C-alpha cells in the first residue's frame, strides 16, 4: 500500500523489490513427492492452490479422490506457510462442505434487515443488478457506486467497478485494521511494513510486541518466525493487558493499562535518546528531526509513564537499556490490527521512531527489505473510462492514503460531499466488521442497490437486495497472488480442486456475466479463469505449467539488509527517516507523537478488549463444522479475583451492556482467568453471529461488535477506534 | 431325558397360554410383560438399524452407560439366585424346597437377559467370534466370557437336576463356586482399571459378590413371597429364611459400600475428586436409601405382600446404584479440553431405558409362562420317582 | 533451536525417517517429542490431524490443553498437546478381549478396525483419555454422503469408508496412530509437518543419530503421567 504522492519507482526501491532477472526456485522437493500416492489412495490427485480462510493465503495441496477433496496439506514451496497450515487452514473441508453454504442467487423481496428470499437464476439476479446499476449511473453518476471488499477475488470486482466508471473501493482491512500502522510507518520511513510483514523475527536478538497476540493471531509464517526467534535465544518482551499465548513465552510480560501504549513508547524513546542508546551513525545518516524529537519527549519520564501505564519505571528503564544493548538486531513489532484508540497512527509513528532510533530498519533481526515480484495485467485490456473528477470522500482525513470505509459510510448516510447509492459488498461481513452497527444499517437503508457476494448466509446478506453465491477458494480460479519476502518473492496460483458445488460461481465468471449485461464485454475478454491466469503468466514470462504443478513460483533476489551497496531510499518528502514530520505539522497534526490520556472505565464498567481465537477467523469460520467442533462460542474473560468479587462463576452465562446503554444480543459464558487485568474484559471477535442460515454459528456467544459504538476516528487517516467502549456485566442471562 | 413337561412346559400348556393371550384371558402381568418385551425388542432393533449415534447417549466422555450397568445388574441378579439356591439348600432344606426350581430358573433367564443389554452396547457385536479366533487371556473381559458360558452351563445343569429331582450336592457346590468366580471376574473387569480411580480397587470383586447376594435375595424373596401367596403356604415358616438372607445381604452391602467410599475418599490420585463429588449421592442414596431404609422396612413387616414390596424396592434402587457405579468413573474428564464440562453429566436415552425394559420383560414373560404351566410344581418330581 | 547444524528440522527428521524405514520393522521404535516451550497453542496439530484422518465430530486424536499457572500478575500458561502416547506398557491393549488393539513389534499401539468389536473397554482403560468411540456421527448431517466424510482416510494403510454404522471405523475405538499410513510411505506425521511452533518432533529413537534421539536424551524431558508406569513414547521437552 503506498501513497500516490510517492512515485511507484522510489517506493519499489525503498522496499527492496526487484522485478527483473531473477531465477525461479526449484520444484517440489523430493521429501514431499511421496504425497503422490498413499495407502489405498492411488488415484488421489494432488492439486496445489492457496488458502483463503484468512488473508495470509498460505499455499496448500488439496488431495482429491473421485471428485471430492478428502484432505488438505501444506504446500512446502509456499513462503507464507512453508508446508504448514494453521489450525484454520487445516479445516478447509469444513468450509467447502458446509451444508449451510449459499447455494443459489437470492433476491430479497422483503425489506433490508427483514429479508424475504426468492431463489433466482443467475441470469435473473444479474439482469436485475445490471438494470439498477444503469439507472444509478444515469441519475447519480458511476462514482456513486461503491465496492467494499476483502479477499483475493475482489480484484475482479474492482475491475468491474473501474470499467463501470467508479473508483470508490475500500477494504475494511484499512480503516478497521492495518491503516494506522501502515500510515505511521509511511510517514516515518516512506514505506509501510507490508503484509506479510517485513518483521525479521527469526533473526532478532530482542523482540518487543505491543498487542500482537501471535499464536492466537495465527498468521502462519510469522508465528513460525517468532517462535524460531525466541526459542533461538532472542529476548522477548510482550506488552499486553492480557497474558496472550505469546506473552506466556516472553521473558517479560508487561500487563499494561489499556490505551496507554503511547506513554510507554514515548518514555522508551526518551530514555533511548537521553542515555544515548540510539544508533548515532544510522540516525545521523538516514534520519532527520532528532533535535525536535528530543525536546518534544522531555516530559515523558519513566516515573510519569509508570503513573500512566501502571508498569514499574525501573522495568521501563531496563527494557529500554536492553533495546539499546541488542540494537540493531531488535524488532519492535508494529503489530497488524491497529485501529485501537483513535490516536493509533501516532502510536504507530512512535513505534516507527523507536525502531528508527535503534536502527532496526533494514537491519538483521529488525525490519528487512522485502523482495517483490510483479505479474502484468491481462494483455490488451481497453483503458478504463475517463475518470470524471468528483469530490474526494476522504477530504477530512489527509493521510487516508487508501479509501476508507468510514467516509463511504458517512457519505452514504449524509449524501455529503456527494451521494453514494449502491454498495457491492464482497467477502466482508460488514455488520460485524464495521463499528456502530446502527449507523451501518442507516447507511444501507439509504441505498438504491445493495449487493452481497459471499459464500455463507452471514449477517451481511440480510441487508442485501441481491445475494450472489461465490464458490469457495477450493473451487475456483482467482487473481494471481504475489507475496514479498526476505530475499525472495512468491507468485501463487489459486486453481479449482473440484467443480463448484450447487449453483455457486467464481468471481471471474460472475463479473464477466455482469459485465456483459452492462455492455462492458470488451473489459472481459478472457474465455475462463484459467485462460485469464495463463495469459497473464505468459505476458510476465512465468511458466504457467510449473505454476499449475507447484502452486507457487519463487523469485529469488534482492538484498534484505542495508549494506554499502544496498543503501535504503526513503519515500518521504525529505527523502530521510522523519523523526519529526513536517507534513504532519503542515496539516496541523503533532509532528512528534504527543500523549493525551484516554478516558478510563466508569465505576462498575470494564474496558472491552477483543482479539483472535486461534481456531477462527472473525465470523468467516464461525460456521465451519471442523472448527465449531472445537470452539463453537466465545467466552468472556474476566480477571478471576475481580470476577469472584462480582460473584461470577466459571461457565455461567451473562449478558453485556455498554456505557451508552447498548445491550449485546445473546449471552456469553464467563471464563475466570488469571491472564487478564481487572480493569478490562476480553473476548474473541467473530462470534455472536445473527443469521438464521448459519445453523452452527447463529446466536453462539456475544459479538464484541454489538457493543462497539461511537468509535473515535483517527483524524489522520479515518481509522475507527474499536477499544474505546466500556461494558457492564449483567448477571443471569 | 424328558424335555417337555419337565424342563420346559408341556406343548399343550404352551398352546393354552398362547390361546389365553389371544383370548385376553392371560392376566394383566403377562400382558404387561409381553408389551414390555415388544417395545424392548423394538429398541434393540432400532439400535442395530439406526446405529448408536442416533440411539444412545454414551459418548467419548461416557463410553459406558446404562446398557453396561444393566448388563452388570442382571448378571448380579443371576449370581444372587445361584447363591440363594445354594444357601437355601444348605441351611433351609425344607423351607426352601418349594422355590428351588423357580429360583434357579430365574437365575438362568436373568443371565440370558444380561446379554440383551451387553449385545446392544457393542459397536460390532457381529464380530464376537473373535473371542475364539484371537482371544486375549490378559483381558478380564475375555475371562468374563469364558466364565459366563461355564456358569450358564452349570446352572442349567443344576436346573435339570432339580427338575428331574436328581439334585446333586456336587453340581450345586460347583454352581456356587463358578458363580463366585464368574462374578468376581466381572468385578475385576472394573476393579483392575488403574486409570479410573472410581473403579480401581481390590475390593471390587468382593463388592460385586456381596451386591450380587443382596440383589439375588431381593429377587428370590419376591418369587418366594408370590409362590407362598399363590400356594397358600405358611408365610412365616417359608419366608423366614429369605428375611434372614436379606438382612445378611444388607449387612454385607453396608460393609462393602462403606469401605469402598472411605478408601476412595482417602485416595489422592488424579480424578479422586469424583468420590467427594459423588459423596452425597453415595451416602444419601447408596447407603441410606439402598441399605438402611430396606432394613427398616424389613423390621416393619414380614407379610408376603410387604416382602414383595421390600424386594421390589431393593431391586429398583439397586438398578440406579449399578448405574451410579458404572458412570461414576466418568464424572471427571480424564483430559479436559475445549468445551468439555468440568463435571460430566450423562442421562440415558429412551432407547437405553427400553433396553432395561427388554431385559426385565424377558425375565417376567418366561417366568410367568413357565409358572402358569405349573412346571415348577413338585408333583412332577413325585411322578418321576 | 529450529535449525540443527544449519538444517531445517523437517529435512533432518525426513532423512532420519528414510533411514529408519530401511531397517527391519522390529528394529524401529517410533517416538514423538513435543517442545512445550515452542508450542504456541495454535491448535494446528489438532485440526491437521482431523483433516489427515477424517475424524468425525467430537473425536480429536490430538487436542491441546491450555493450563493456567499461578496468579495474576505472576501468571503462567502451559500448552499440552496430547497424541496417543504409544505407551510401552499401555493400559489399553491388555484389556482388549479380542486382541484387536495390540502393541506392534515397532512399539506402535495399533487398532485392528476389522477385528474391534467396539466394547469400549480400552477407552475406559486408557489413562490419557486418548481413545474415542466412533458412534457414527457426521459433521455434514444428511449431506455427508456427498462429502469427504464417507471417503477413505487411509488410516493404518488400509481402506475404510464410514458409509454406515456397519462400516468400520464406525463402531470402533479410535485414536492417534502416529500417522503410520504416512510414516510407512516415508512422510512425517501430519502434526509434525503442520506444527507452527516447529515444536513436534518424530522419529526412531533406536537410531542414535536421529534428531529425536538427540532431543530426548536431554535433561529437560518429562513424560506425561509417567508415574502410572505406562512408559509413554511421547516425550515432552520443557
Ligand atoms: N486465528 C486468527 N488469526 C488471525 C486473524 C483471525 O481472525 N484469526 N485475523 C488476522 C488479522 S486480519 C489481523 S488484523 C490480526 C490481528 O491480530 P493482532 O495484530 O495480533 O491484533 P492485536 O489487536 O494487536 O492483538 C490483540 C491483543 O491485543 C491486546 N490488547 C488489547 N488492548 C490493548 C492495549 O491497549 N495495549 C496493548 N499493548 N495490547 C492490547 C489484547 O489483549 C490481545 O491480546 O490477526 C490476524 N490473524
Ligand atoms: N469488533 C471488531 N471489528 C473488527 C475486528 C475486530 O477484531 N473486532 N477486526 C477488524 C479486522 S483486523 C479486519 S481485517 C476486518 C475483517 O473484516 P471481514 O473481512 O469482513 O471479516 P469476516 O467477518 O471474516 O468477513 C468475511 C466475509 O467474507 C465471506 N467469505 C469468506 N470466504 C469468501 C470467499 O471466498 N468469497 C466471498 N465472496 N466471500 C467470502 C465470509 O462468509 C464473511 O461473510 O474486521 C475488522 N473489524
Ligand atoms: S494462516 Fe491459516 S487460515 Fe490463514 S491462510 Fe494460512 S493457513 Fe489459511
Ligand atoms: S495413551 Fe492410552 S491409548 Fe495410547 S497407548 Fe497409552 S494407554 Fe494406549
Ligand atoms: S473397543 Fe475394540 S479395541 Fe477397544 S477393547 Fe474393545 S474390542 Fe478391543
Ligand atoms: S501422529 Fe498423526 S494421528 Fe497422531 S496426532 Fe499426529 S496427526 Fe494425529
Ligand atoms: S501445532 Fe505445534 S505449536 Fe501449534 S499447538 Fe500444536 S504443537 Fe503447539
Ligand atoms: Mo485485519
- Which atom of ligand 1 is found nearest the CA of A335? 19
- In C112-134, which positions are buried (b, 16+ CB within 10 angstroms) versus exposed (e)? bbebbbbbbbbbbbbbbbbbbbb
Kind and range of the H or E element at A530? Answer: helix A529-539
Spatial neighbors of A152 by CB under 8 A, at least 6 apart, are A52, A57, A473, A478, A479, A481, A494
Of the candidates C206, C202, C159, C163, which has an alpha carbon nearest to the alpha carbon of residue C62? C202
Residue A90 is given by DSSP the state G
Kind and range of the H or E element at B77? Answer: helix B66-91
Q: Does the distance separating the beta carbons of A630 and B338 come in below 8 Å?
A: yes
Rounded Cα–Cα distance for residues B315 and B77 (Å): 9
Per residue in A53-62, pLDDT (tens digit) is 999 999 999 9
Interface subset of A 190-209, CB within 8 angstroms of C: 202
Rounded Cα–Cα distance for residues A148 and A393 (Å): 14
Q: Give the CA dihedral B96, B98, B100, B106, nearest 10 degrees.
A: -120
Cell numbers at residue A548, please? Answer: 499449475
Whole-number average pLDDT of chain C: 95
| B23, HSE (Cβ side, Cα atoms, 13 Å) | 8
The CA distances from residue A130 to A134, A412, A490, A510, B302, in Å, are 6, 20, 37, 12, 92
Rounded Cα–Cα distance for residues B229 and B371 (Å): 14
Rounded Cα–Cα distance for residues A648 and C67 (Å): 20
Q: What are phi and psi of B379, to 5 degrees?
A: -55, -40
End-to-end CA distance of chain C: 13
pLDDT of residue B10: 86
- Which atom of ligand 1 is found nearest the CA of A341? 35
Nearest to B134 among C66, C99, C170 (CB): C99
Interface subset of C 62-91, CB within 8 angstroms of A: 68, 70-73, 75-79
**Which chains border B (3 or more CB–CB pairs < 8 Å)?**
A, C
Q: Does the distance separating the beta carbons of A631 and B342 come in below 8 Å?
A: no
Q: Looking at the predicted structure, is the pLDDT value of residue A13 above 90?
A: no
Rounded Cα–Cα distance for residues A148 and A168 (Å): 9
Is the reported ipTM for this assembly greater than 0.90? yes
Integer Rg of chain A from CA: 25
Of the candidates B287, B271, B289, which has an alpha carbon nearest to the alpha carbon of residue B279? B287
- In B304-343, which positions are buried (b, 16+ CB within 10 angstroms) versus exposed (e)? bebbbebbebbbebbbbbbbbbbbbbbbbbbbbbbeeeee
Average pLDDT over residues C103-110: 96
Q: Which residues line ligand 3 (CB under 6 A)?
A: A 51, 53-54, 56-58, 81, 85-86, 88-89, 218-220
Location of C-alpha cell 418366561: B366
CB atoms within 10 A of CB C165: 23
SS3 A196: coil
Rounded Cα–Cα distance for residues A559 and B228 (Å): 102
Residue A540 is given by DSSP the state T
C82 contacts chain B (CB < 8 A): yes
Q: Is the peptide bond before A259 cis (omega within 30 degrees of 0)?
A: no
Q: Does the distance separating the beta carbons of B342 and A630 come in below 8 Å?
A: no
SS3 A553: strand
Mean pLDDT by 10 residues, chain B (385 residues): 81 90 88 95 94 92 95 94 92 88 94 90 94 95 92 93 88 93 92 91 92 94 92 88 92 92 82 85 89 92 92 94 93 90 93 96 94 74 39
Average pLDDT over residues A607-632: 98
Rounded Cα–Cα distance for residues B183 and B173 (Å): 15
pLDDT of residue A19: 31
How big is chain A, counted in residues? 733
B339 contacts chain A (CB < 8 A): yes
SS3 A19: coil
pLDDT of residue C3: 52
Distance of CA A130 to the CA centre of its chain: 31
Per residue in A580-589, pLDDT (tens digit) is 999 999 999 9
Q: Give the CA dihedral B3, B9, B10, B14, nearest 10 degrees.
A: -140
Q: Looking at the predicted structure, is the pLDDT value of residue A142 above 60?
A: yes
Integer Rg of chain B from CA: 21
Residue A202 is given by DSSP the state G
How big is chain C, counted in residues? 238
Measured between beta carbons, which residues in chain B are less than 8 angstroms from residue A650? 342
CB C227 within 8 A of CB C90: no
Rounded Cα–Cα distance for residues A608 and A637 (Å): 10
Per residue in C135-188, pLDDT (tens digit) is 999 999 999 999 999 999 999 999 999 999 999 999 999 999 999 999 999 999
H helices present in A109-218, as ranges: 122-140, 154-164, 172-173, 179-189
Give the pLDDT band of residue A389 (cuts 50, 70, 90): confident
Q: Is A699 left (phi over 0), alpha (psi -120 to 50) or beta?
A: left
Kind and range of the H or E element at B244? Answer: helix B235-266
Of the candidates A636, A642, A656, A658, which has an alpha carbon nearest to the alpha carbon of residue A726? A658
pLDDT of residue B129: 95
pLDDT of residue B267: 79
How big is chain B, counted in residues? 385
CB B122 within 8 A of CB B145: no
Rounded Cα–Cα distance for residues C111 and C127 (Å): 17
Give the pLDDT band of residue A12 (cuts 50, 70, 90): very low
Amino acid at each position: 500500500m503506498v501513497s500516490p504522492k510517492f512515485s511507484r519507482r522510489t517506493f519499489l526501491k525503498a522496499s527492496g523489490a526487484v522485478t527483473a532477472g531473477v531465477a525461479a526456485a526449484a520444484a517440489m522437493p523430493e521429501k514431499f513427492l511421496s504425497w503422490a500416492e498413499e495407502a489405498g489412495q492411488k488415484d488421489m490427485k494432488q492439486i496445489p492452490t492457496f488458502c483463503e480462510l484468512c488473508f495470509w493465503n498460505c499455499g496448500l495441496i488439496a488431495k482429491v479422490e473421485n471428485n471430492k477433496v478428502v484432505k488438505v496439506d501444506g504446500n512446502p514451496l509456499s513462503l507464507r506457510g512453508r508446508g504448514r497450515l494453521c489450525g484454520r487452514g487445516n479445516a478447509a473441508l469444513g468450509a467447502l462442505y458446509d451444508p449451510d453454504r449459499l447455494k443459489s442467487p437470492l433476491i430479497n423481496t422483503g425489506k433490508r434487515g427483514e429479508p424475504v428470499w426468492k431463489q433466482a437464476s443467475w441470469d435473473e439476479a444479474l439482469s436485475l443488478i445490471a438494470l439498477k446499476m444503469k439507472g444509478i449511473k444515469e441519475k447519480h453518476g458511476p462514482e456513486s457506486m461503491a465496492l467494499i471488499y476483502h479477499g483475493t477475488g475482489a480484484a475482479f470486482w474492482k475491475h468491474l467497478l473501474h470499467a463501470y466508471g467508479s473508483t470508490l473501493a475500500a477494504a475494511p482491512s484499512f480503516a478497521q485494521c492495518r491503516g494506522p500502522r501502515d500510515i505511521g510507518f509511511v510517514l516515518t520511513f516512506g514505506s509501510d511494513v507490508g503484509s506479510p510483514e517485513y518483521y525479521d523475527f527469526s533473526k532478532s536478538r530482542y523482540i518487543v510486541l505491543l498487542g500482537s497476540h501471535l499464536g492466537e493471531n495465527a498468521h502462519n509464517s510469522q508465528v513460525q518466525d517468532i517462535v524460531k526467534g525466541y526459542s533461538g535465544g532472542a529476548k522477548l518482551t510482550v506488552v499486553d493487558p492480557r497474558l496472550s499465548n505469546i506473552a506466556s513465552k516472553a521473558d517479560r510480560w508487561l500487563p499494561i493499562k489499556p490505551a496507554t501504549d503511547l506513554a510507554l513508547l514515548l518514555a522508551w524513546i526518551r530514555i533511548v535518546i537521553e542515555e544515548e542508546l540510539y544508533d548515532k551513525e544510522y540516525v545521523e545518516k538516514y534520519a532527520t528531526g532528532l533535535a525536535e524529537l528530543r525536546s518534544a519527549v522531555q516530559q515523558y519520564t519513566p516515573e510519569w509513564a509508570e503513573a500512566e501505564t501502571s508498569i514499574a519505571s525501573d522495568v521501563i528503564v531496563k527494557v529500554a537499556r536492553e533495546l539499546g544493548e541488542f540494537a540493531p538486531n531488535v524488532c519492535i513489532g508494529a503489530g497488524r490490527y491497529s485501529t485501537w484508540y483513535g490516536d493509533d497512527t501516532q502510536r504507530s509513528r512512535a513505534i516507527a521512531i523507536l525502531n528508527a532510533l535503534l536502527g532496526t530498519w533494514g537491519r538483521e533481526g529488525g525490519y528487512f527489505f522485502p523482495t517483490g515480484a510483479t505479474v502484468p495485467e491481462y494483455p490488451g485490456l481497453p483503458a478504463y473510462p475517463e475518470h470524471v473528477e468528483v469530490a474526494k470522500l476522504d477530504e477530512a482525513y489527509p493521510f487516508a492514503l487508501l479509501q476508507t470505509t468510514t467516509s463511504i459510510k458517512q457519505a452514504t448516510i449524509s449524501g455529503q460531499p456527494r451521494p453514494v447509492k449502491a454498495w457491492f459488498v464482497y467477502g466482508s461481513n460488514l455488520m460485524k466488521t464495521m463499528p456502530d452497527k446502527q449507523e451501518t444499517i442507516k447507511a444501507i437503508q439509504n441505498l438504491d442497490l445493495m449487493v452481497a457476494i459471499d459464500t455463507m448466509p452471514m449477517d451481511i446478506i440480510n441487508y442485501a437486495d441481491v445475494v450472489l453465491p461465490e464458490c469457495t477458494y477450493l473451487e475456483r480460479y482467482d487473481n494471481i497472488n504475489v507475496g514479498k519476502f526476505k530475499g525472495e518473492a512468491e507468485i501463487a496460483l489459486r486453481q479449482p480442486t473440484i467443480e463448484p458445488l450447487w449453483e455457486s460461481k467464481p468471481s471471474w465468471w460472475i463479473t464477466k456475466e455482469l459485465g456483459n449485461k452492462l455492455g462492458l464485454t470488451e473489459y472481459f475478454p478472457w474465455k475462463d479463469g484459467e485462460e485469464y491466469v495463463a495469459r497473464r503468466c505468459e505476458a510476465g514470462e512465468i511458466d504457467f505449467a510449473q505454476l499449475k504443478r507447484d502452486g507457487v513460483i519463487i523469485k529469488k533476489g534482492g538484498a534484505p539488509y542495508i549494506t554499502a551497496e544496498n543503501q535504503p531510499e526513503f519515500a518521504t518528502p525529505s527523502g530521510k527517516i522523519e523523526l519529526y514530520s513536517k507534513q504532519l505539522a503542515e496539516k496541523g497534526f503533532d509532528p512528534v507523537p504527543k500523549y493525551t490520556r484516554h478516558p478510563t472505565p466508569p465505576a462498575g464498567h470494564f474496558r472491552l478488549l477483543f482479539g483472535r481465537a486461534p481456531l477462527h477467523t472473525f465470523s468467516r469460520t464461525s460456521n465451519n463444522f471442523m472448527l465449531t467442533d472445537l470452539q463453537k462460542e466465545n467466552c468472556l474473560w474476566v480477571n478471576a479475583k475481580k470476577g469472584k468479587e462480582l460473584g461470577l462463576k466459571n461457565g455461567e452465562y451473562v449478558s453485556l451492556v455498554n456505557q451508552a446503554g447498548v445491550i449485546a444480543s445473546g449471552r456469553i459464558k464467563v471464563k475466570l482467568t488469571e491472564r487478564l487485568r481487572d480493569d478490562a474484559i476480553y473476548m474473541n471477535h467473530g462470534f455472536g453471529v445473527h443469521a438464521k442460515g448459519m445453523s452452527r454459528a447463529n446466536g453462539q456467544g456475544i459479538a464484541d461488535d454489538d457493543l462497539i459504538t461511537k468509535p473515535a476516528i483517527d483524524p489522520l487517516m479515518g481509522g475507527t477506534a474499536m477499544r474505546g467502549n466500556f461494558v457492564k456485566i449483567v448477571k443471569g442471562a | 431325558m424328558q424335555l417337555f413337561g419337565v424342563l420346559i412346559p408341556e406343548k399343550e400348556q404352551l398352546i393354552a397360554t398362547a390361546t389365553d393371550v389371544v383370548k385376553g384371558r392371560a392376566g394383566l402381568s403377562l400382558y404387561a410383560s409381553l408389551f414390555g418385551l415388544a417395545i424392548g425388542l423394538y429398541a434393540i432393533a432400532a439400535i442395530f438399524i439406526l446405529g448408536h449415534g442416533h440411539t444412545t447417549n454414551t459418548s467419548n466422555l461416557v463410553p459406558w452407560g446404562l446398557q453396561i450397568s444393566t448388563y452388570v445388574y442382571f448378571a448380579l441378579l443371576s449370581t444372587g439366585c445361584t447363591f440363594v439356591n445354594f444357601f437355601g439348600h444348605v441351611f433351609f432344606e425344607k423351607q426352601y424346597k418349594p422355590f428351588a426350581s423357580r429360583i434357579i430358573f430365574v437365575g438362568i433367564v436373568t443371565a440370558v437377559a444380561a446379554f440383551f443389554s451387553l449385545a446392544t452396547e457393542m459397536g460390532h457385536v457381529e464380530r464376537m467370534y473373535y473371542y475364539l479366533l484371537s482371544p486375549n487371556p490378559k483381558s478380564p473381559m475375555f475371562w468374563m466370557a469364558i466364565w459366563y458360558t461355564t456358569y450358564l452351563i452349570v446352572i442349567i445343569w443344576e436346573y435339570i437336576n432339580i427338575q428331574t429331582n436328581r439334585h446333586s450336592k456336587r453340581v450345586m457346590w460347583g454352581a456356587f463356586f463358578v458363580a463366585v468366580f464368574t462374578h468376581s471376574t466381572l468385578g475385576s473387569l472394573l476393579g483392575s482399571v488403574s486409570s479410573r480411580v472410581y473403579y480401581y480397587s481390590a475390593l471390587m470383586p468382593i463388592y460385586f459378590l456381596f451386591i450380587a447376594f443382596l440383589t439375588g435375595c431381593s429377587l428370590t424373596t419376591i418369587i418366594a413371597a408370590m409362590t407362598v401367596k399363590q400356594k397358600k403356604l405358611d408365610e412365616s415358616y417359608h419366608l423366614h429364611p429369605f428375611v434372614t438372607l436379606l438382612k445378611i445381604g444388607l449387612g454385607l452391602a453396608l460393609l462393602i459400600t462403606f469401605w469402598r467410599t472411605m478408601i476412595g475418599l482417602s485416595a489422592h490420585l488424579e480424578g479422586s475428586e469424583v468420590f467427594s463429588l459423588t459423596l452425597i449421592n453415595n451416602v444419601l442414596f447408596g447407603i441410606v436409601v439402598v441399605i438402611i431404609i430396606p432394613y427398616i422396612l424389613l423390621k416393619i413387616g414380614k407379610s408376603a405382600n410387604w416382602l414383595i414390596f421390600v424386594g421390589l424396592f431393593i431391586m429398583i434402587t439397586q438398578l440406579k446404584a449399578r448405574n451410579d457405579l458404572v458412570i461414576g468413573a466418568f464424572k471427571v474428564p480424564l483430559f479436559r479440553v475445549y468445551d468439555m464440562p468440568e463435571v460430566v453429566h450423562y442421562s440415558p436415552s429412551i432407547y437405553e431405558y427400553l433396553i432395561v425394559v427388554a431385559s426385565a420383560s424377558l425375565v417376567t414373560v418366561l417366568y410367568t409362562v413357565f409358572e402358569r404351566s405349573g412346571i415348577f410344581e413338585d408333583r412332577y418330581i413325585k411322578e418321576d420317582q | 533451536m529450529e535449525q540443527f547444524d544449519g538444517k531445517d528440522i523437517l529435512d533432518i527428521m525426513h532423512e532420519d525417517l528414510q533411514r529408519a524405514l530401511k531397517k527391519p520393522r522390529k528394529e524401529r521404535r517410533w517416538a514423538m517429542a513435543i517442545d512445550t516451550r515452542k508450542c504456541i497453542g495454535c491448535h494446528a496439530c489438532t485440526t491437521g490431524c482431523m483433516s489427515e484422518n477424517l475424524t468425525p465430530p467430537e473425536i480429536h486424536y490430538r487436542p491441546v490443553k491450555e493450563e493456567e499457572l499461578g496468579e495474576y500478575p505472576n501468571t503462567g500458561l502451559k500448552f499440552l498437546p496430547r497424541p496417543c502416547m504409544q505407551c510401552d506398557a499401555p493400559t489399553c491393549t491388555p484389556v482388549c478381549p479380542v486382541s484387536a488393539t495390540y502393541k506392534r513389534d515397532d512399539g506402535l499401539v495399533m487398532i485392528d478396525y476389522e477385528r474391534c468389536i467396539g466394547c469400549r473397554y480400552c477407552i475406559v482403560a486408557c489413562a490419557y483419555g486418548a481413545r474415542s468411540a466412533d458412534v457414527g456421527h457426521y459433521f455434514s448431517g444428511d449431506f455427508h454422503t456427498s462429502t469427504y466424510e464417507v471417503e477413505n482416510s487411509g488410516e493404518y494403510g488400509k481402506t475404510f469408508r464410514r458409509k454406515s454404522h456397519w462400516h468400520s471405523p464406525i463402531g470402533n475405538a479410535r485414536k492417534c496412530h502416529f500417522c503410520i499410513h504416512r510414516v510407512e510411505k516415508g512422510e512425517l506425521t501430519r502434526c509434525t509437518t503442520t506444527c507452527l511452533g516447529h515444536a513436534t518432533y518424530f522419529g526412531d529413537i533406536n537410531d542414535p543419530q536421529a534428531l529425536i534421539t538427540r532431543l530426548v536424551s536431554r535433561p529437560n524431558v518429562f513424560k506425561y503421567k509417567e508415574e502410572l508406569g505406562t512408559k509413554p513414547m511421547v516425550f515432552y521437552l520443557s
